[in-house]
Chain A
């Protein structure tokens, strides 16, 4: 047994055990925390399966953002699940059996795991993305070049999805409203336990924050050479703000980044991305054809295009995630 398969099996076992425990736990705080752990293990598995960019994103999203949001909602709502009624189990079991049967049937003809001659690896796409991209786009991280250039439209779509989510959350929960002076101060959800009172955590978080933001910038601009890119950077940026908001309170965080400014940033990123597509069209190429950005030197044009796109993604993702966090947290304060 190779080192790879040993580690793989242990991680898979951990994942399944965690998933089963999550389904059985009725205390939802605990379930949410185990979901964070699940995410961490998934991210480790992604590292093992050579998907570094995905591991980066999964860790940032699954642990950094999802967990905070779920916990925030749990703090607003009820934290314990009712007993699942017996009549509810049957449809679940039926669906699991049907889908499981289909998937099991499908697996009979799936190429062996890791095989070098599977259709995925023998399709000409592999050659183009891994080797020809080195001349056509010229950046070592092929994930970034496929993401931002070959499949740039998917990435635009992904950004639009993020934008839609921001829109949805703001339309449902609204931004943090200013406290009305006439209304007496309501008790905040963390009435007697303000983390800002803890000097240690305040100092550590305060000291950490500039590094977090610096790290985000590094991830943004290093995405062409190593794992990382606009989305990951945006999430890290946002988790920096989340940390700030959690430790120093929402009001201070809101003062640093007011809602109106955030919304402008949200739209700015998206407009830059679409605008870039329009610009390449006006310059005579097709939508998102970065070659035309630097006539005569396609690789430079690609570099430039990818950099603009990644920055646009970073801006929108960071501001949407921050907005979403503020919306959820603000709901708790104003209620």
Chain B
């Protein structure tokens, strides 16, 4: 059962990855990457159970944290309009 969950996770990761590659634009990518981050948190949790050592879930907590920090940072730091091209940071990228 746990292995099936792992497969589902990997499939979802790949789907999110395709969205992250395709874009279009910044926001679709941020969304995909944020989703991907949640999946990695679950990945760590599920992998712990799958390989029989579930006691090291601290990593999952950390992933959840840095994922949030990274999303906040992306939003805070990319909202700046590019002084040269004027199109960056919007849908045009």
Chain A's closest residue to B88 (CB) is A79
Tell yes or no: A112 within 8 A of B by CB: no
Contacts of B88 in A (CB 8 A): 27, 29, 79-80
Instruction: Report yes or no: A67 in contact with B37, Cβ–Cβ below 8 A.
Output: no
Query: In chain B, residues 61-80, which have Cβ atoms closer than 8 Å to a Cβ of chain A?
Result: 61-63, 65-70, 72-80
Instruction: Report yes or no: A34 in contact with B33, Cβ–Cβ below 8 A.
Output: yes
Instruction: Report yes or no: B21 in contact with A21, Cβ–Cβ below 8 A.
Output: yes
Contacts of A281 in B (CB 8 A): none
Chain A's closest residue to B50 (CB) is A3
Tell yes or no: A33 within 8 A of B by CB: yes
Tell yes or no: A163 within 8 A of B by CB: no
Nearest chain A CB to B11's CB is how many angstroms away? Answer: 9
Contacts of A41 in B (CB 8 A): 40
Mostly, the B contact residues are helix
Nearest chain A CB to B27's CB is how many angstroms away? Answer: 11
Query: In chain B, residues 1-58, which have Cβ atoms closer than 8 Å to a Cβ of chain A?
Result: 3, 6-7, 10, 13-14, 17, 20-21, 23, 26, 29-30, 33, 36-37, 40, 43-44, 47, 50-51, 55-56, 58
Instruction: Report yes or no: A236 in contact with B65, Cβ–Cβ below 8 A.
Output: yes
A7 to B3, CA, bound (A): 10
Instruction: Report yes or no: B82 in contact with A80, Cβ–Cβ below 8 A.
Output: yes
Tell yes or no: A222 within 8 A of B by CB: yes
From B10, B37, B47, give the contact of A47 (CB < 8 A). Answer: B47
Contact mask for chain A residues 3-41; partner B; CB cutoff 8 A; 1 contact, 0 none: 110110010001001100100000101100110110011
Contacts of B78 in A (CB 8 A): 29, 71, 74-75
A10 to B56, CA, bound (A): 23
Contacts of B3 in A (CB 8 A): 3
Given contacts A17-B17, A41-B40, contact A56 B59 (CB under 8 A): yes
Given contacts A17-B17, A68-B73, A239-B65, contact A33 B47 (CB under 8 A): no
Instruction: Report yes or no: A44 in contact with B36, Cβ–Cβ below 8 A.
Output: no
Contacts of A68 in B (CB 8 A): 69-70, 73, 77
Instruction: Report yes or no: B89 in contact with A227, Cβ–Cβ below 8 A.
Output: no
A3 to B43, CA, bound (A): 13
Nearest chain B CB to A105's CB is how many angstroms away? Answer: 32
Query: In chain A, residues 202-219, which have Cβ atoms closer than 8 Å to a Cβ of chain B?
Result: 205, 208, 212, 215, 218-219
Instruction: Report yes or no: B14 in contact with A14, Cβ–Cβ below 8 A.
Output: yes
Q: How many interface residues does chain A have, given as a range?
A: 35 or more
Given contacts A40-B36, A80-B88, A243-B72, contact A60 B82 (CB under 8 A): no
* Nearest 9 pairs of A and B residues by beta carbon: A64-B66, A71-B77, A63-B66, A68-B73, A75-B77, A193-B79, A27-B93, A10-B10, A79-B88
Which residues in B have some Cβ–Cβ distance to A below 8 Å? Answer: 3, 6-7, 10, 13-14, 17, 20-21, 23, 26, 29-30, 33, 36-37, 40, 43-44, 47, 50-51, 55-56, 58-59, 61-63, 65-70, 72-80, 82, 84-85, 88-89, 93
Query: Could you give 28 example pairs across A and B, Cβ below 8 Å?
Result: A6-B7, A14-B17, A27-B88, A27-B93, A33-B29, A33-B33, A34-B33, A37-B20, A37-B36, A47-B47, A59-B62, A63-B37, A63-B70, A64-B65, A64-B66, A71-B73, A71-B74, A72-B77, A75-B78, A78-B82, A79-B88, A189-B77, A190-B77, A190-B80, A227-B59, A232-B62, A242-B69, A246-B73
Which residues in A have some Cβ–Cβ distance to B below 8 Å? Answer: 3-4, 6-7, 10, 14, 17-18, 21, 27, 29-30, 33-34, 36-37, 40-41, 43-44, 47-48, 52, 55-56, 59-60, 63-64, 67-68, 71-72, 74-75, 78-80, 189-190, 193, 195, 201, 205, 208, 212, 215, 218-219, 222, 226-228, 232, 236, 239, 242-243, 246-247
